[in-house]
Structure 1
Amino acid sequence: MPRFAANLTLLFTEVPMLDRPDWAVRSGFDGVEVLFPYDQPMSDWETALNGLPLALINTPPGDWASGDRGFAAVPGMELRFRDSFLRAAEYATRLKAGRVHVMSGVAKGPQAEQCYAENLAWALAEVPGLTLTVEPLNPDDMPGYFLNDYDQAARILDDIGDPRIGLQFDLWHAARLHGDAGAVWAEHRHRINHVQIAGFPARNEPGGGGFSLPDLCDEIDAHCPEVWIAAEYRPARGTAQGLGWLAALKSRGALIGG
């Protein structure tokens, strides 16, 4: 049965951040992810996680309020990228994060792509023990973001040719970018090393949008059991009241496995 992670940035916001791992466990999740863990010391995270698997963190975005969305593809910001990546690597190593999502930042054009590829290659060489992932984001939610197409991301990853970096499949962004998230999955599933789910089109509890979550679970279970399925959505009500989808998928998996 696939492993399910709670995105602590969006779920369980009823309680402080460092209380959320415990809530996730008690709600039936197998692990967690957090977009930006950097406001809390690593020692506090170690206590809060208490051995709970951390599936993914993002590289620091910079000044979010000023429009920063990472630096990997931003020409002239190579040193800023490297500093931010090494900070992410320190957190990921100490907290045993399964993946580090490298944020490309706001940029465009061939120079940005060259900068992006060079920075990703540097990151892979600098911290060989980490597994990296990249994620195309839709321009409505993330205006100007460099990586905004799954085919573009696939081409860059294929050029790098390193198995330690893969593609992050976010059902919400895939549907917003390409219209048919199922077609994106079918085309790129062999590159995917992390999955995030949300309902479409409202980005609330997972389900709908013509995408079969049971089929997704079956494929991950059969072909890539190391891949986490992370719940990254905005609860329509309190988080705990909307977790029927998780119970249904886990009970289905238990029946199949048993």
Structure 2
Amino acid sequence: MRFSANLGFLWTELTLPNAIRAAAAAGFDAVECHWPYDVPADDVAAALRETGLPMLGLNTTRGGPGENGLSALPGRRAEARAAIDQALAYAQATDAAAVHVMAGFAQGDAAHAAFVDALRYACDAAQGRVILIEPLNHYDAPGYFLRTTAQAEAIIAEVGAPNLKLMFDCYHVQLMEGDVTHRLVRLLPLIGHVQVASVPDRGAPDHGELNYPHVWEVLTRLDWDAPVGAEYKPGEDTDATLGWLRGAQAR
């Protein structure tokens, strides 16, 4: 199996270009990030070329203080579209494969309509890139609009764009719904990216209530060949937490 280092959590003490270099030195096959916009895209692109690592994806901006995305916020259409444009431009400059469009804190029919509108805009503007949506658990992100894979599945069907896919984060799915591997199997045609972390502490995927060796087996059986995102909080020096990586890569 192949793995991507999520640099929103790993090697956060380093600049983003140096975190890319650290991921390459550690043996990761790709990188991804959260909000890279304070770093010149040219610097990131140079580090990617130097290391040979692809950038899998990045998020649209959170918005203002206390926000967690703009796309499902009624009355914020122009800002949501500007955030999508910003993310797609950065993705173009760094050859990132996907953009995660963040919904934000909102509920109700107006929020649903706003999110669908923003996603249709993003999918039309993506120029061959994948647009991702990710359900977040209500412990870490109370009030976030997108909460379950069933909700995401319905939205993907409603938008009807072939480049709109599900970001299947095993950590969030386990906390909200459980039954992770059966959901992986059933939702496979809709999944654009898989992420992992231990449950419930969001540490490295080598402990906790999810049996990740079994998850690796299921993904292998499903012929999942894209890098799996390691989006976990190391709680210490990142390099000291990578014992799980070698065994998982050998599968």
State if a TM-score over 0.5 links the two structures.
yes
Alignment partner, residue 45 of structure 1: 44
**1:53 partner amino acid:** P
| SS of match in other structure, 1:37 | coil
Paired residue for 1:147?
146
Q: Please tell me the residue identity of whatever aligns with 2:37.
A: Y
Q: CA deviation at 1:237?
A: 2.5
Contact map agreement 1:178 1:184 (CA 8 A) in 2: no
Q: In structure 1, what is the equivalent of residue 56 of structure 2?
A: 55
Normalising by the residue count of structure 2, what TM-score does the alignment of the two structures yield? 0.92
After TM superposition, list the pairs within 5 Å mapping 1:3-152 onto structure 2.
3-50=2-49, 51-63=52-64, 66-152=65-151
* Secondary structure in structure 2 of the residue aligned to 1:39: coil
Find the aligned partners of 2:15 and 2:162 in 1 and give their Cα distance.
Answer: 36
Give the counterpart letter for 2:63 in structure 1: G
5+ long unaligned stretches in structure 1: 254-258
Tell whether the 8 Å contact from 1:55 to 1:98 is kept in structure 2 after alignment.
Answer: yes
Q: Letter of the 2:150 partner, please give it.
A: D
- Aligned-pair distance for 1:93? 1.1
Cα displacement string for residues 83-105 of structure 1 (whole angstroms, at most 9, x for unaligned residues): 11001000111211111100001
Cα distance in 2 for partners of 1:117, 1:142 equals 20
Gaps of 5+ in 2: none
Q: Is the 8 A contact 2:181 2:218 kept in 1?
A: no
Inter-CA distance 83–14: structure 2 relative to 1 (3 Å threshold): closer
**Amino acid in structure 2 at the alignment position of 1:119:** A
The Cα offsets for residues 62-118 of structure 1, whole Å up to 9 and x where unpaired, read as 12xx21111111111000011110010001112111111000011110111111111
Deviation at 1:165, TM superposition (A): 1.0
RMSD of equivalent CA atoms: 1.7
Aligned partner letter, 1:181: V
Q: Distance in 1 between matches of 2:207 and 2:243?
A: 14
Corresponding residue pairs, total: 249
- Output one character per residue of 1:32-63: Cα deviation in whole Å (capped at 9) or x when no partner: 00101101011111122224200110011112
2:239, 2:43 → 1: CA distance?
24
Secondary structure of residue in 2 paired with 1:32: strand
Letter in 2 for 1:201: P
Cα distance between partner residues in 1 of 2:2 and 2:24:
12
* AA matched with 1:172: Y
Match of 2:188 in 1: 189
Please report how far the alpha carbon of residue 203 of structure 1 lies from its aligned counterpart in structure 2 after TM superposition. 1.0
Q: How far has the Cα of 1:142 moved from its partner?
A: 1.0
